[in-house]
A and B are shown apart, each in its own frame.
Chain A
Amino acid sequence: SQQGEEDPQALSIQEGENATMNCSYKTSINNLQWYRQNSGRGLVHLILIRSNEREKHSGRLRVTLDTSKKSSSLLITASRAADTASYFCATDTGTASKLTFGTGTRLQVTL
Chain B
Amino acid sequence: DTAVSQTPKYLVTQMGNDKSIKCEQNLGHDTMYWYKQDSKKFLKIMFSYNNKELIINETVPNRFSPKSPDKAHLNLHINSLELGDSAVYFCASSLPSVSDTQYFGPGTRLTVL
- A-side residues, CB < 8 A to B, are 2, 30-31, 33, 35, 37, 40-45, 48, 50, 86, 88, 92, 94-101, 103-104, 106
Given contacts A42-B4, A43-B104, A97-B50, contact A48 B45 (CB under 8 A): no
Chain B, range 1-51, C-beta contacts under 8 Å to A: 4, 31, 40-45, 48, 50
Is B64 in contact with chain A by the CB < 8 A criterion? no
Interface centre among B50, B56, B98, B106 (most CB of A within 10 A): B98
Contacts of A41 in B (CB 8 A): 106-107
How many residue-residue contacts, CB under 8 A, span A and B?
66
Is A42 a contact of B104 with CB atoms below 8 Å? yes
Q: How far, in Å, is A104 (CB) from chain B's closest CB?
A: 5
Q: Interface residues of A: mostly helix, strand, loop or mixed?
A: strand
* Assembled-state Cα–Cα distance A101/B92 (Å): 14
- Chain A: minimal CB distance from B17 (Å): 24
Further pairs besides A30-B99, A43-B90, A106-B41: 17, Cβ < 8 Å: A31-B99, A35-B104, A42-B106, A44-B104, A48-B101, A50-B99, A86-B41, A88-B43, A94-B98, A96-B50, A97-B50, A97-B55, A97-B98, A98-B45, A98-B48, A101-B43, A104-B42
